[in-house]
Chain A
Amino acid sequence: MSLLDRFTDGWRKYRKPGYYEEFDYHWAMTIDLDKCTGCEACVTACQAENNLPIVGEKAFAEGREMKWIRIERYWEGEYPDVKLRFIPMLCQQCDSAPCETVCPVSATYHNQDGLNTQIYNRCIGTRSCAVYCPYEVRYFNWNDHQWDAPLEQQLNPDVTVREKGVMEKCTFCIQRIRQAKDHAKDDGRRRVRDGEVQPACVQTCPANALVFGDRKDPNSQVSRSMNDPRAYRVLEELNTDPSVVYLKKVDAKG
């Protein structure tokens, strides 16, 4: 291969939008709003799994709570004809994520699994990713957090405890994904089976409103769920190409 060919090949490769020819996995989630009761079990599960700090009353009032997944609550209509809506909001793992391009130190990028990853060690805390994120799901460590005894005993050893000045967000429980991949490799399988890996929120949801899986596998539960006619994506007009799909709540007429 001549030098020129190598150059043009490289050029073509590096000029390709999105860079990846294909993702290894394409993790995705669907959230069925018809099933969601707004119980916040997912919020608690996430807190336990991902070593989220308990910020305390004062910081909460200041608007500094850490919730990688939160339940947004909206009222629809005027009293007395009023309806309550819930939307669980977590990092949408956008394939065209605005937050990724803005980080000056490359602390966030798109990985081979189609995940939007955050590298805590590299983060210098410019907080620009949080501004650029239209879903407001990036959380900043305003100060160091403490886990009063015996709470420190429940910290998850698979997840880093973040220091002050670092941005963090939902990872789709990447530590579980890793583990599942390792198991698949140990068992001599090429791929992780559908349903083998579940983030803490999905695992906990009592109403089974959350479904997680590999979008590349057309038979996976999440792929089938994404083809539901009720499916929509939040703020789709912004072209961020999210990996989280919501299934619209359908009200009975009458």
Chain B
Amino acid sequence: MPTETNDLQYADVHRDVIRSIVETGPQYYIALGTAFGVTLLCFFFPWSYQLYYGIGAAGMNHPGVWGTYLASFIFWIGLSHSGTLLSCVLHLTHSTWRKAMYRSAEAMTLFSLMVAATFVMVHVGRPWFIHWALPYPNQMEMWPNFRSPLLFDVMAIGTYITGSSIFIYMGSIPDFAAVRDRTTGWRNNMYALLSMGWRGTDREWHRLHWAYTFLAVLIIPLAVSVHSIVSWDFAMSIVPALHQTIFAPYFVVGAIYSGTAGIVTVMFVLRKYMDFGQYITKVHFDNLGKLLLVLSLIWTYINGIELFTGWFSGASSEHEALRYKLFGYYAPLYWEMIAFCAVAPLLCISSRFRTSFVPMLILSIAINIGMYTERFLIVGTSLSRQYLPDAWGVYVPSLVEISIIVGSLALFVTLFLVFVKIVPSVSMYEVKETMDAPKPEPVASPEGSPA
């Protein structure tokens, strides 16, 4: 379908993608160095301080015992939700426009999950005992509490990380094999190992197709369950404004929404700095823009419903929580979220907007800022106004927290930059599939040409 790739040959795709792996300019090293430096400085350094000092290094207090760390955790889990999920859905529905972008989208899933998992470590008070949340036989004869929504999280995210890394790996095996043939030295050994001796035989393709399809079928309900479970961390409490049945769909939609916006951002960057202009085209931005529009409408609807059920409950605690959310201390953030996530995406109605790259980039970033705010508000406003007015209070993030948030972004970028040099960030064989196969030449020499 992408019309712009029609004049390309198989060999061109091959050359372009492999070049993106083996040829590394100074620009890349500068970017990687900067990202890594920022990660060290803004993420690991404040975190070490926090480990030494205690969680008190962050701005959390009573009653705001959950803060930006948990908000970041939800945000990163949410960001992970479009990659693999979208890729699976589009694979099962045979959408060809998926093929050029899905690899980097899946990588986004994987790395945002990793960053999210790191935020669990940052969030808890004693991360050196975090393994106690895993079910393993131990000399204390203790087991984790399987009734806890947080343990559902452990199981769901563990499964999700496993599933999405396997999914991205399986889809990359043929490409690893192709890169293996074109590289030398340590790279060749690495790809030989990764490709596991893939030859591209009819049997292998057939098995890959089926395995991949089954994985897709398994991963779609998994991804939906993951963010539902994350929402139950909140919805299973009895905190006013958190104890809502709408939370699971709310979180899932929000996750896909911010994930899709994240894909737009990554697409833009890949297109611009990795010279994939011929593969990532206006078609992709157009389709993603439509998706964003639909998701923003669903998201807005659920937000309205959330307010309505709060009001309709008639409970004074719910009414106070609602009033506080709309007009209280954090109200400017609430209205910022509405502007970025409910109003701004309406621009996607115009097809001219959807097909222009820079405005889409700006929109996608705005949406993710809005979605981060949403997660912060879920934690911040609800905990500030609970049942007993004596225990009301506000929570403001500290410098350590803000620095760790910035650092986590750099951590994500670092991981992504390492990824684009190891895994072909555009799937070669699937892009080739979308192109016209070489046709028999009109006058084919019956003898062929001896080598």
Contacts and interface: CB of A to CB of B under 8 A. Distances in A.
A and B touch in the complex (CB under 8 A): yes
Contacts of A65: 62
Contacts of A124: 124-127, 129-130, 132-133
A105 B66 CA distance: 18
B34 interface: no
B388 A89 contact: yes
B193 interface: no
Contacts of B148: 101-104, 128
Summarize B's interface: helix, strand, loop or mixed. Answer: loop
A102 B65 contact: no
A235 B389 CA distance: 12
A130 B53 contact: no
Summarize A's interface: helix, strand, loop or mixed. Answer: loop
Interface string B377-395: 0000001001111110100
A131 B61 contact: no
Given A123-B126, A125-B125, A166-B125, A102 B237 contact: yes
Given A63-B393, A101-B148, A124-B124, A136 B62 contact: yes
Q: Which of A89, A140, A234 has the most CB of B within 10 A?
A: A140
A237 to B, nearest CB: 9
Contacts of A134: 238-239, 386-388
Interface in B197-236: 233, 236
B91 to A, nearest CB: 34
Contacts of B64: 63
Nearest to B234: A131
Size bracket, chain B contacts = 35 or more
A164 B226 CA distance: 31
A136 B391 contact: yes
Contacts of A221: none
Contacts of B239: 131-132, 134
A123 B137 CA distance: 18
Nearest to A98: B238
A127 interface: yes
Contact of A143 (B54, B143, B237): B54
A101 B390 contact: no
Interface in B83-135: 123-127, 129-130, 132-133
A165 interface: yes
Interface string B419-437: 0000000000000000000
Nearest to A167: B125
A131 B124 CA distance: 14
Interface in A85-140: 87, 89, 98, 101-106, 122-128, 130-132, 134-136, 139-140
B124 A165 contact: yes
Nearest to B58: A142
A103 B145 contact: yes
Contact of A104 (B125, B145, B391, B393): B145
B238 A106 contact: no
A102 B63 contact: no
Nearest to A102: B148
Q: Which of A124, A164, A167 has the most CB of B within 10 A?
A: A124
A57 B151 CA distance: 37
Contacts of A62: 59, 61
B328 to A, nearest CB: 17
B126 A106 contact: no
B149 interface: yes
A220 interface: no
Interface string A158-201: 00000111110000000000000000000000000000000000
B62 A164 contact: no
A72 interface: yes
A144 interface: yes
A165 B147 contact: no
B130 to A, nearest CB: 6
Contacts of B365: none
A164 B393 contact: no
B55 A238 contact: no
Q: Which of A98, A125, A166, A235 has the most CB of B within 10 A?
A: A125
A111 to B, nearest CB: 15
Contacts of B55: 125, 140, 142-143, 164-165
A132 B233 CA distance: 10
Interface in B148-194: 148-151, 153-154
Contacts of A64: 56, 61-62
A165 B52 CA distance: 11
A218 B238 CA distance: 32
B126 A125 contact: yes
A116 to B, nearest CB: 14
B115 to A, nearest CB: 18
A74 interface: yes
B54 A136 contact: no
Nearest to B152: A104
Given A122-B142, A143-B53, A131 B237 contact: yes
B142 A106 contact: yes
Contacts of B143: 106
A74 B150 contact: no
Interface in B367-382: none
B125 A122 contact: no
A70 B387 CA distance: 16
Interface in B57-74: 57, 59-66
B319 to A, nearest CB: 15
Given A62-B61, A105-B145, A142-B55, A132 B238 contact: yes
B54 A101 contact: no
A177 B53 CA distance: 34
A123 to B, nearest CB: 7
B359 interface: no
A73 B392 CA distance: 12
Given A64-B62, A103-B150, 17 more contacts: A63-B61, A102-B150, A103-B148, A104-B148, A104-B151, A105-B144, A106-B145, A124-B126, A124-B130, A127-B124, A134-B386, A140-B55, A142-B60, A143-B57, A144-B54, A165-B126, A166-B125
Interface of B: 53-57, 59-66, 123-127, 129-130, 132-133, 142-145, 147-151, 153-154, 233, 236-239, 383, 386-391, 393
8 contacts: A63-B64, A74-B389, A102-B236, A102-B237, A105-B129, A105-B132, A124-B129, A234-B388
